[in-house]
Amino acid sequence: MADATRSFDRWLHDVRNQLSIILGFSEILLQELEGDDARRHDLQEIHDAAERAMGAMGRVPQKEDESGR
């Protein structure tokens, strides 16, 4: 069971890292695009979806540390 927990924790960490990259780059691109750029809506959808996914990641239960907290 401990191996499964470690694997899940690594997976969760990796997914959060990828979502952070998507959020960061989409924020940069949104700042650089003109307000009337046709790509802006699609990019905003990508950014919003990444924010929702990151929020869902925050609702995933975390394992207890060694002290039982």
- pLDDT score of 1: 74
Domain boundaries, the chain: 2-57
Q: How far separated are the first and last CA of the chain, in Å rounded?
A: 19
- Judged against a pLDDT cut of 70, whether residue 69 lies above it is answered with no
**Mean pLDDT, all residues of the chain:** 88
- Judged against a pLDDT cut of 90, whether residue 42 lies above it is answered with yes
Instruction: Give mean pLDDT, residues 10-39.
Output: 95
Which has the higher per-residue pLDDT, 44 or 68? 44
Which has the higher per-residue pLDDT, 28 or 60? 28
Output the CA torsion 56→61→65→66 (10° steps): -160
